[in-house]
Amino acid sequence: MKAVILAAGMGTRLGTLIPKPLTSLKDEKTILDHQIDVLRGAVGIYNIVVIVGYKKELIMEKVPDVTFVYNNAYSQNNTGKSLLTALRTLDEDVIWTNGDVFFDRAAIDLLKDVEHSSMLVNAEKCSDEEIKYTLDSSGNIVALSKENAQGEGEAVGVNLIKKADLANFVTELETLGKQEYFEKAMENIVQRGGMVLKPVYLGDLYCREIDFPEDLEAVQQYLKESRAEI
């Protein structure tokens, strides 16, 4: 199994000049530090791939032991094309995460032994900015977008594609427009019946994407109050 971290974007909404994964969470430990630590335990350090773009040298100096893939069009494309740069080179089960997500350590364990391609989700009401999912009568994900008015909760940005689905997923990513999110490719496949996509519920585990300063403050407050390991 491989793990991929999407860390190529500029992250302008957070209002800093550094790559967003290098944002400090606690005691100078960054989002990226935390993700690498957790994924090292799940797949091993040499099975982690980090997609870099904006100020790539800062990230590459921070975590030199992982594999890097350069997205040279990071300022023109979105997560769909960025993820594609890494998945083209892989041929096994892949866990991937957006580079701005904080998650409890146990969250990754939820994905390690599932049988189908899956997404970590919650069942909470979420804002217009979040990726929302809808399930069919069998409990499979059938719709997935920010515009999904019937959404049953949030897809939190941590996902698993099984080896059997990887080639179809790569093909779908290749057809996306430059500004599409990878979730659009997942939605397209499941709506054509080309892949089963399961929700994996976080339950009581904490996970939050850090898009805005208030998200960062919420994560830092959670770490302070819970004394969670990071």
Contact 107, 158 (CB under 8 A): yes
The pLDDT score that the predictor gives to residue 127 is 74
Give the pLDDT confidence of 118-171 residue by residue, as tens digits.
999 998 877 777 899 999 999 999 999 888 877 889 999 999 999 999 999 999
- Percentage above 70 pLDDT, the chain: 99
Q: How far is CA 38 from the centre of its chain?
A: 13
The pLDDT score that the predictor gives to residue 60 is 95
Torsion angle of C-alpha atoms 33, 35, 40, 44, degrees rounded to 10: -120
CATH architecture entry for 2-223? Alpha-Beta Complex (3.90)
Q: How far apart are CA 89 and CA 69, in angstroms?
A: 10
Q: Secondary structure of 53-90 in the HEC alphabet?
A: CCCHHHHHHHCCCCEEEECCCCCCCCHHHHHHHHHCCC
pLDDT band at 191 (very low <50, low <70, confident <90, very high): very high
The pLDDT score that the predictor gives to residue 188 is 95
The pLDDT score that the predictor gives to residue 129 is 78
Neighbours of 210 (CB within 10 A): 25
Q: Where are the domains of the chain?
A: 2-223
Beta bridge partners of residue 155, listed in sequence order: 121
Instruction: Count the residues in the chain.
Output: 230
**What does the pLDDT average to over 39-54?**
96
**What does the pLDDT average to over 49-53?**
97
pLDDT band at 73 (very low <50, low <70, confident <90, very high): very high
Sign of CA dihedral 168, 155, 30, 227: negative
- Percentage above 90 pLDDT, the chain: 81
List Cβ neighbours of 64 (8 Å cut-off, separation of 6 or more). Answer: none
The pLDDT score that the predictor gives to residue 186 is 96
Q: pTM value?
A: 0.94
**What does the pLDDT average to over 205-227?**
92
- Packed helices 163-175 and 79-87: angle between N→C axes, nearest 10 degrees: 130
The pLDDT score that the predictor gives to residue 65 is 92
**What does the pLDDT average to over 3-27?**
90
